Structure 1
């Protein structure tokens, strides 16, 4: 099996490459060479996906049996379309890692594989879906861009040769966003720890290694494939997650639970100041039944937590990313909210 991975040096891309090599596949990666390090055993090709000459040069390295695209999160649909068209005659299948943000109902409604997807043309530029600075309400720009990129892949390869995978939150070793690493760091610091919402609130993060494995299985699939990629609804809880953080770090910290209505008084930035906390009713109601039927398997979240802490304790450092600094509540603000619970 010959595989091309767009990306491949950090987090999901690295997990895809490592898994593919363990299967004995021949792997080529295409990156700018600016962050992360190549996985030994893969053939590294450097170039910029926004440079058509670089993409044409990449295509000359083919053919491949499949492409797995892990690096399109900040690319326009037009850029994805140009690259997919250049590779369409060089690969048999295209696996595109999308997001649940493509759904019009995200995060306010339960989501199913046939839920309505946002508009987004296959040839859209970066301004498509961008809202004016004074707009009040949900910002769907990212979702529309990813929806357009999905359509770009299908347009270039055809539905029969495309796999569209829509993960929710991805956690695990190498995470660069900072959600799980922040909670692990906070747990390790100990003391009274502000725990958001209801400990029985179900959550659905998926391990990066499980997404990688599913993406590679999809590289050998046939026919049209579109799947949500999350842990099962109801299996994991916020309480179980935070208890796993305490256990993994050996912390003596104490979780102090604050109801949603109490937290909302403090103008907290949901999803980031207390990572994974969000009051929208659909955020953890994503149905991934079709994914499970297609072979998706999700390990227990406690295993993801423990393995991520072990990865960090071995001195590993995630690739620097601007999203990292957005996560985590300031200690003073946490103390203020905790005091309000007992005052």
Structure 2
């Protein structure tokens, strides 16, 4: 048996009558009764099995972006038009340079948000000698005075200290009944590093910034280069009178380590015992009036508290060094009272 041939599309290479077939097609479309009807059931005139195409899924509607509601705007944020911002900038430039500046429109005007932040006050320092404002450096440009604690500051520093409240540090997290060991700081510390630009070099480790120490010659006010104790301008050897920035007079009242003795004869001096190297109490300078009178009267010097040796001509002058502060008598008294309260009486019978 022969199956009927299926109706298919025409071969694109063959063409029917040109203009006449087009006119027939137009006339058929003009008549509404001759239009093809699209029904769900297949036509009876169709020969052979008919294949139905699966229904295409309808695309889901794209959700529209939600606009920010008034309640979603955090505090301190205000709405403002872009044109108003450009107008304010043009007005400020015109007031600064005394010209007329017209705002430039960079695009369509739209609404934007502006965050209000508190105004920060810059700190100004003025010289207490000539009342000149200091610049970026700590030396006055008019009288060459180095900025000190007497130079006023604007705004003034706040003297009120906030009371320390209860500690807000959270307790260590306990996982599985095991508490992390923080004894002697054994908790793992995070070290920040970055690669070294030099090839095959160790990575750079971030360290806490430290204040650089600067020494100034008291004779010519020149800075000493690092590691050099002789002034390049006046050939003065760095001594205890040369100021240090930052200063530490409480720890080093007699001068800083490595300095030459001070040339000021009004200050007392200290000597070391040449037998046990213990420092004697301070005595008047030998070139001062009190020191000359003491030397002429042949008054004996102080004795060493360690070996009992008296101060003599062989004892060298003590170099500048760190001086430990004297203990507070109130603290010593309280410690003695606590020890006396803890002491146990005589043995019982």
- Fold match by TM threshold 0.5: no
Which structure has greater helix proportion? 1
Bigger Rg, structure 1 or 2: 2
TM-score range, shorter chain: under 0.3
TM-score (structure 1 length as normaliser) = 0.17
Which structure has greater strand proportion? 1
